Amino acid sequence: MKKDAILILEDGSVFYGFGFGAKKTKVGEVVFNTALTGYEEILTDPSYCGQIVLMCYPHIGNYGINFKDSESYRIWVEGFIVREYSKIYSNWKAKTSLDHFLKKYGVPGIEGIDTRKIVKKIREKGSMKGIISRDEFNIKTLMKKLKETPSIKGRDLVSIVNRSPYSVFRRYRATERQSDRATVAVIDFGVKLNIIRLLEKVGLRVIVLKGNTELKEILRLNPDGILLSNGPGDPEGVTYGIKLARELINYNKEKYLPVLGICLGHQLIGLGSGAKTFKLKFGHHGGNHPVKDLKTGKIEITVQNHNFCVDPETLPSSFEITHINLNDKTLEGMKHKDFPILSFQYHPEGSPGPHDSEYIFQEFKRLIEKDE
């Protein structure tokens, strides 16, 4: 079988493999994900916009795609790298193959290459841009396109994934009345659907608004709480999100309004408070990252997907650190000392991955109910 796909990294490394998915050429920042399962959720996570994802687990595609596990309405990754793609899938929920799913959204995949070598290279040299092609094999042409494509640093990728405003109304108990439920305005910077599901699961009514919605427009809806969602890329490029986070902190000086930040939302709160963020060497991507709760001493195994982090040395005294990453001691959680504002770098909705951190949604609900 002839190799019909190519991957070139920014450092000039060239890998030839077998293609699947769309016959296209795509550029993105290459990152690796350590999760053993959950490729459907990973592919559809808006936080991966602008990135090419490499799966560390070697055998991918064997349970197909069922669409119910999708975290948004489409695939957001630029490309997909696996050691071995399973052409045969078997699962009672499956509706189609991974290959067909990638083709539908124009995403190229490559298999049959040494993924361990690439992971080692990224760990040693840091994240780097890469280009996958299934329709162009001239290395000079591909390298030129690779060099001309800007990095994710400083870019506003949220504007790419942002969707139109929509509301979600679901009832988990037949006797439940809509008016009895507190309302949370989810500010959508690339929100994963499981965040919405779990907010509803704890009994909250959810309204989802675009990431560039002004605070005055949000307040017209009279929400009981606000959630700043996850999203892709560099938080410094999302200037309207930083502005909103700063305004929410100041608003709490006058009126009680609980705020929860997740991943990018956490970083925006950090920037809005006056802290700084920095780019990690190769990011945190996977479903097995240990995080320590500094108050209780408990360890949570968490889901993570981020390339940037809040610098704890720049955090103002009005905030306290609540969680740290045990792998590299980076900041994973914080809260305001006087206001009902808390945020987490990891994903409490745990999809795909462990459910250790779901309690955060109950904690957020308790903050909201305190005002009732």
Band of pLDDT at residue 174, cut at 50, 70 and 90: very low
Cβ neighbours for 238, distance < 8 A, ≥ 6 positions apart: 156, 158, 189, 211, 231, 264, 268
| Domain identity same for 26 and 141 | yes
Band of pLDDT at residue 1, cut at 50, 70 and 90: confident
Token pair of 129, please? Answer: 């841009």
DSSP 33: E
Tell me: the pLDDT tens digits for 41-81? Answer: 999 999 999 999 999 999 999 999 999 999 999 999 999 99
Active-site annotation, residues: 263, 347, 349
Report, as an integer, the average pLDDT of 253-267: 97
Band of pLDDT at residue 181, cut at 50, 70 and 90: confident
Say how many domains are in the chain: 2
Band of pLDDT at residue 179, cut at 50, 70 and 90: low
**Whether residue 372 has pLDDT greater than 90:** no
**Whether residue 168 has pLDDT greater than 60:** no
Band of pLDDT at residue 165, cut at 50, 70 and 90: low
Tell me: the pLDDT tens digits for 325-358? Answer: 999 999 999 999 999 999 999 999 998 899 999 9
**Whether residue 297 has pLDDT greater than 70:** yes
| Domain identity same for 281 and 188 | yes
3-state secondary structure of 158: helix
- CATH of residue 124: 3.50.30.20
Answer yes or no: is 354 within a domain. Answer: yes
| Domain identity same for 100 and 126 | yes
Tell me the one-letter amino acid at 60: I
CA 112 – CA 15 distance, rounded (Å): 9
Token pair of 252, please? Answer: 């709490």
| Domain identity same for 101 and 226 | no
Token pair of 127, please? Answer: 């994240």
Please report the pLDDT score of residue 170 as a whole number: 40
Tell me the one-letter amino acid at 121: K
| Domain identity same for 113 and 170 | no
| Domain identity same for 135 and 182 | no
3-state secondary structure of 171: coil
- CATH of residue 310: 3.40.50.880
Q: Are 356 and 346 in contact (CB under 8 A)?
A: no
pTM reported for the whole predicted model:
0.94
Tell me the one-letter amino acid at 328: D
Answer yes or no: is 228 within a domain. Answer: yes
| Domain identity same for 117 and 176 | no
Count CB-CB contacts under 10 A for residue 274.
Answer: 13
Range of the domain at 264: 164-369
Token pair of 196, please? Answer: 């919405």
Answer yes or no: is 344 within a domain. Answer: yes
Answer yes or no: is 155 within a domain. Answer: no
Report, as an integer, the average pLDDT of 6-15: 97
| Domain identity same for 314 and 278 | yes
Count CB-CB contacts under 10 A for residue 257.
Answer: 21
